[in-house]
Amino acid sequence: MSILWVLLPLMNKSKQFQLPLPFWYPYDKKASPFYEITYVHQIISFFYTVIAVYNIDMLTSALMVFIGAQCDILCDDLRNLHGNRSNIFSENLKKSIKHHQEILIFAKSCNKYFSFILLGQFLASSVILSFTLYLLALDHNMDVRFFVHVVLVAFYMIQIFTYCWFGNEVEIKSNQIPHSIFESDWTRHSLKIKKDMMMLIVKSQKPIKLSALNLFYLSLDVYIKVKFINWSNLH
């Protein structure tokens, strides 16, 4: 998509000395060699920006995947809480409780650091997506620019979907924690152990939700709403 975008002015075979990105410059950018230098500068800047955005997306997604994986590990540990002796069972339970606390702390820290970035990415992607869909609605020529806009729409839809999907996965997996506790061998143990398990159940009933500055949570419902709002602009 990036290569198509930067090569679009050349592929259109236009004689108007178009640039990949419309910017104002304090010189005649259509005169040689200023046009060539400006074109190369925009290509380098564009690819640096794309790489930065891609890395942010991948890092944020990786952190959400890690949180979800830790929830899976915790659920597996809780399901396999066995032990004929109460002290062994109690020790393993305490490890799981500590693990759950560490997951909550890590999720809160991650959300604190990339919350503002998520909001910026969502706003920028939604605005660009709306304008691109608007241009597609006005463009009746099946030329190179039209297909570049189609690819651009697909790119931003996938970007928003990625955030919402992994955020939704974190919520679903954290919701499995209280159910996993009941699948353990808890019936034969003391009342104190059962009370500890009940405390963990109460604590884990509130799922882990990642948000963008607490304005909205990352979920598939949010993705559907964003998609509906953008596509409704075409009508």
Half-sphere exposure of 59 (CA within 13 A, CB side): 13
Residue 50 pLDDT exceeds 90: no
Domain extent listing, the chain: 57-232
Closest among 86, 74, 90 to 181, alpha carbons compared: 74
Check residue 168 and give its pLDDT: 94
With cut-offs at 50, 70 and 90, classify the pLDDT of residue 120: confident
Closest among 99, 121, 119, 126 to 203, alpha carbons compared: 99
For 87-117, the pLDDT digits (tens) are: 788 888 889 999 999 999 999 999 988 888 8
